[in-house]
Amino acid sequence: MGYRMRYGRPNWDAVPQELEMIRKDRTRIHSKLIIHHLAWSPLYRKMLLDYCIPSLVDDVKKLIKEKVEVEWVVHFDDVANIPKYEGVNIQFNGISSAGSFQDSINMCRKSQKEGAYIALIAPDNIFGKGSLYNAFKLAQYKDTSIAIAHPRVLAEDFMKKYPAGQTYKNKQLVKMAMDKKMMHPALQYAFDDLDDSFTNQGISIRRMGKGVYGVVHTLPSGVVFKFNKNDIDYLDGITWGEIDRGLSIKLFAEKRIKLVGCSDVCFFIELTRPAYNFSHVYPGLKNNDRHMDERQNIFNNTIVIWKS
């Protein structure tokens, strides 16, 4: 029973046994981070090499300087003409015959066997300065994972305006996401002061003042994970899309993932084409932040602050 309530009172007698279990679990938690990307098309390859990886390099260098062991692995279908990233070692591998998703699962399995953390980062993600570093430091030495609520940005407009190889502060990325010229349809109709919106589809945004937004996000993305054997068994039975959905719900239900509450600490944007992930607009939803899928109501208990 641990420290749980027994006959209406805490069972303090069981605390030593539960603490011993915690200590035993912690013996397999090491200061190692595996970073893994998949890129399965020329567009995702460009996003990964030109935008995603450059946004992470400085954070990885900082972790290495602090004696964190970092293993950085990429699987994609074209390993030719890879640029050099100074100060970091990245393994670029082709996609195996088992398929790209299985390559990712194998990396998750490797992290679990080694007691390491793993950052599963999509090729279309751009992280703010310090965000990956902070996400790892929040999880380090704990049996926990870290999730971040993030927005989508129109990929084509972003890549036309911003050159490859740049790094950005978190506030800059928030400002980009809220730029009407690059704002994804998923955000355009996510503000809760609109009567016609799709705030019931997963994200509800409230303007709190100049450059400050209160966000209820029912599908925050896991970024840094600490997996156990049960998680690996679960991953073996799902598709790639469920990593953002079912896995996050599973870990939150088990109290094994924590959501970062402010963009100043951790933030990233997702480059997306406008036709993707578009939902219908529904009337009568002013001030709404409830999601239609009750399985995801667990995330309605947290308000995340985005600041530009």
What is the DSSP annotation of 73-129?
Answer: EEEES--SSPPP-TT--EEEEEPPTT-HHHHHHHHHHHHHHHT-EEEE--TTEEEPT
Is the residue at 16 inside a domain?
A: no
- Which residues lie closer than 8 Å to 65 by C-beta, 6 or more apart? none
The C-alpha atoms of residue 49 and residue 38 are separated, in whole angstroms, by: 11
E strands present in the chain: 5-6, 9-10, 32-39, 69-76, 90-94, 117-120, 125-127, 145-148, 152-154, 203-209, 212-217, 221-225, 257-259, 268-272, 304-307
Over residues 135-158, the mean pLDDT reads: 95
The C-alpha atoms of residue 40 and residue 46 are separated, in whole angstroms, by: 11
User: Is 35 within 8 Å of 60 (Cβ atoms)?
Assistant: yes
Condensed to tens digits (0 to 9), the pLDDT of residues 68-78 reads: 999 999 998 77
The C-alpha atoms of residue 85 and residue 103 are separated, in whole angstroms, by: 23
User: Is 173 within 8 Å of 269 (Cβ atoms)?
Assistant: yes
Question: What does residue 24 show for φ and ψ, rounded to 5 degrees?
Answer: -65, -45
Q: How many CB atoms lie within 10 A of CB 254?
A: 11
- pLDDT of 2: 44
The C-alpha atoms of residue 3 and residue 15 are separated, in whole angstroms, by: 5
- pLDDT > 90: percent of the chain: 56
**Chain-centroid distance, C-alpha 55:** 14
pLDDT above 70 for 167: yes
More confident call, 213 vs 196: 213
Is the residue at 8 inside a domain?
A: no
The C-alpha atoms of residue 89 and residue 109 are separated, in whole angstroms, by: 21
| DSSP-based three-state secondary structure for 138 | helix
User: Is 108 within 8 Å of 120 (Cβ atoms)?
Assistant: yes
Expressed as residue numbers, the domain containing 262 is: 31-307
Cβ-count burial of 87 within 10 angstroms (0-12 exposed, 13-18 middle, 19+ buried)? exposed
Is the residue at 239 inside a domain?
A: yes
Is the residue at 291 inside a domain?
A: yes
More confident call, 229 vs 299: 229
Q: How far is CA 89 from CA 6, 47, 83, 84, in A?
A: 52, 19, 12, 9
Residues recorded for the chain: 308
Is the residue at 103 inside a domain?
A: yes
In the chain, the number of structural domains is 1
Return the DSSP state at 220. P
Confidence of residue 281 (pLDDT cuts 50, 70, 90): confident
Q: How many CB atoms lie within 10 A of CB 189?
A: 20
Is the residue at 12 inside a domain?
A: no
Is the residue at 20 inside a domain?
A: no
The C-alpha atoms of residue 35 and residue 74 are separated, in whole angstroms, by: 8
CATH number for position 190: 3.90.550
Pairing of strands 5-6, 69-76: unpaired
Is the residue at 7 inside a domain?
A: no
pLDDT above 90 for 301: no
Q: Which region among 4-8, 31-35, 241-245 has the lowest average model confidence (pLDDT)?
A: 4-8
Confidence of residue 6 (pLDDT cuts 50, 70, 90): very low
